[in-house]
A and B are shown apart, each in its own frame.
Chain A
Amino acid sequence: MLIIKDLEVKAEDKVIIKNFNLEINTGEIHVLMGRNGTGKSTICKAILKHPDYQIVKGSISFLGKDLKDLDTTMISRLGIFLLSQNPVEVQGITNAEVLRNALSEKNNERVDIFKFNKRLNEVCEMINLPKSFVHRDVNFNMSGGEKKKNELLHLFMLEPKLIILDEINSGLDVDAIKTVGLALRKYYEIYKPAILIVTHHADILEYFDDYKVHVMDKGEITLSGDKSLAQTILTTGFGASAVAEDLENE
């Protein structure tokens, strides 16, 4: 589904990502781990062509389409969804306005308001989000947990095929992590998307049965393994991954 080959990404003339290769198939969950500053968030944003980053080498394809000449809008409409660590606040524009416009433009037709509102209500109930959020300004005056739940509203309404979660558990309390984790698992069970999770913590991973783990260092993946690698790292730190890499190479 997503194939990244030999990717190099720069920000302000500095190489952040290099020799990055990753393949995620439908229904697979991949976890990116690594110390701060290794480029994990950069890769999340670069996939969606964030203006701060330039892809200078390599390729990204999604569902067989080369993303090289596509802009953020087109990539999103193909079915890639980014849930950022700190979702942007957009004062003066409500969730309903964003979603209605997004769906209308994507499908090139006016949204049936009745069906749209019905679906919004269903999603709110499913993810335990107060219905008042629908008409609130996007992420404005919301706590960290509320912002993440707000983004889940967008996720369920837009129904993407690949979800990129950039430190989704950052700033969340135990209850909020549970709510978010359960909602993501529900989405996964219904839609079987591909998921790329960037995380430092195990808590969100508990909601998924199986996943592959990749460790990033200095802009590239240096080690990959199954879920046990995540447990090793979370127990003993990233130094352990260097040990594991050495063991693998022996």
Chain B
Amino acid sequence: MNKLVVVEDIKLNDDHTLIEFKDNVKVDIKDVVKLIDYMEESKDITFNLNNDSKLFLERLWILNKSANLVINMHKNSDLELRLVVINEGVNTINLRVNMLEDLGKAKIYVRIINKNKDSNINFICDGNIEAKTIDNNLLEDLKGLILDNDTIKISPNMQVATNEVMANHLVTVGSFNLEELFYLESKGLSRNRAKELLVDSFLKNILGEHLKKYINGGDYI
């Protein structure tokens, strides 16, 4: 059974159409759940993916203090995590994905910017694949865009205790691509406008239409 859950104010209703996240909450996922949320708070949340369940989690996270996000995956469970983090202040996010049994598939896409030049984020992604498990598949695609001498640190960790696994990680942290900037400016765009469009595309690239409307590159340049 598919559930499309679009969360704006994070409230729990009996028909599970909206979910409230309290701090330190554990969320049980059964069946297939698509969760799209916009979060302006830093809360610690744990998702437990039961056997044969699927979680598609798309989140635009406005971070103002450190937070932990843990996802425990059981047999034949499927995770697709699309996370855009806009950080303010000096914070750490610990994202931990535990693949506890066989046949798990986890794709993790993260895009990070800081709201201002004094902000500093340390994003730690721990992918943990248990011993004696087989046929788990883990992808970490983590990118940070430095806007103005702010600091982004990304650690793509993988602890893999088995040989029967496919695990990949990709990390880039950098400033604007100079060729892209030159190209846009050579069409007549101002530098600021070019940067706004590039920030927009960087953040929106992994998001669906529900959350794109909350992003305006101009707010961060």
A residues touching B (Cβ–Cβ < 8 Å)? 48, 50-51, 71-73, 76-77, 81-82, 87-88, 90-93, 97-99, 101-103, 105-106, 138, 154, 158
Contacts and interface: CB of A to CB of B under 8 A. Distances in A.
Interface of B: 178-180, 182-191, 193, 197-198, 200-202, 204-205
Contacts of A87: 183
Nearest to A83: B186
A175 B178 CA distance: 33
Nearest to B181: A51
A83 to B, nearest CB: 10
Contacts of A90: 180, 183-184, 198, 201
B205 to A, nearest CB: 5
Given A81-B186, A103-B188, 20 more contacts: A48-B186, A71-B191, A72-B182, A73-B185, A73-B188, A76-B185, A82-B186, A87-B183, A88-B179, A88-B182, A90-B183, A92-B200, A92-B205, A93-B198, A98-B187, A98-B197, A102-B187, A102-B188, A138-B183, A158-B188
Contact of A91 (B179, B189, B205): B205
Contacts of A48: 182, 186
Contacts of B191: 71, 73
A103 B193 CA distance: 12
Q: Which 3 A-B pairs have the closest CB atoms?
A: A92-B201, A72-B185, A102-B188
Given A102-B188, A158-B187, A91 B201 contact: yes
Nearest to B197: A93
Contacts of B179: 88
A211 B187 CA distance: 26
Q: Is the interface of B mostly helix, strand, loop or mixed?
A: helix
Contacts of B201: 90-93
A107 to B, nearest CB: 10
A154 B187 contact: yes
Contacts of B182: 48, 50-51, 72, 88
A90 B200 CA distance: 12
Nearest to B178: A51
Contacts of B189: 73, 98, 101-102, 105
A76 B188 contact: yes
A116 to B, nearest CB: 15
Interface-centre pick from B180, B186, B205 (highest chain A CB count, 10 A): B186
A154 B186 CA distance: 11
Nearest to A99: B187
Contacts of B180: 88, 90
A119 to B, nearest CB: 16
A54 B181 CA distance: 17
Contacts of A82: 186
Nearest to A92: B201
Nearest to B184: A98
Interface-centre pick from A50, A51, A93 (highest chain B CB count, 10 A): A93
Nearest to B180: A90
Contacts of A92: 198, 200-202, 204-205
Nearest to A160: B188
Contacts of A105: 188-190, 193
A184 to B, nearest CB: 18
Nearest to A86: B179
Contacts of A99: 187
Contact of A71 (B183, B185, B200): B185
A93 B189 CA distance: 13
B70 to A, nearest CB: 30
A100 B185 CA distance: 13
Contact of B186 (A72, A93, A103): A72
Given A92-B204, A92-B205, A76 B183 contact: no
Contacts of A71: 185, 191
Nearest to B202: A92
Contacts of A97: 197
Nearest to B187: A102
13 contacts: A48-B186, A72-B185, A72-B186, A73-B190, A76-B188, A77-B188, A82-B186, A88-B183, A93-B197, A93-B201, A105-B188, A105-B189, A158-B187
A106 to B, nearest CB: 5
A129 to B, nearest CB: 17
